[in-house]
Amino acid sequence: MLAELRRKNPPVAPGQRQHKHFQWLTENVGDPRLREHLWKVIGIMQVFTAWDSFYETLDRVLPRYSKNPLLALIEDDGLADMVSH
């Protein structure tokens, strides 16, 4: 879905787009996926009493989009120390 949003809403300047991505969501595709994501976040949030553990779990269950996914994989596998040496 992100690739389609990027195609429909290309950057007009580095780091800037004419519209926000959510403005391109449709009722039958984008809105349900966004709603599903928000309900997952709320469900995870209800379990925790501390922000740190909530954010850690949220990032594990619903990771943020990474501009460099290879580095994220290296960090998750504990290979960051091996790569840096």
- Cα-Cα end-to-end distance for the chain: 37
CA atoms of 10 and 70, how far apart (whole Å)? 24
CB 57 within 8 A of CB 48: yes
Report the pLDDT value the prediction gives residue 69, as an integer from 0 to 100: 52
What would the two tokens of residue 28 be?
Answer: 């039958």
pTM for this structure?
A: 0.48
CA atoms of 44 and 53, how far apart (whole Å)? 10
CA atoms of 64 and 27, how far apart (whole Å)? 23
Q: Is 49 helix (H, G, I), strand (E, B) or coil?
A: coil
What region, left, alpha or beta, does residue 78 occupy, with left being phi > 0 and alpha being psi -120 to 50 degrees?
Answer: left
Task: For the chain, list residues with pLDDT below 50.
Answer: 78-85
Report the pLDDT value the prediction gives residue 81, as an integer from 0 to 100: 46
Report the pLDDT value the prediction gives residue 9, as an integer from 0 to 100: 74
Q: What is the pLDDT of residues 57-80, one digit of tens each?
A: 999 988 876 555 555 555 555 444
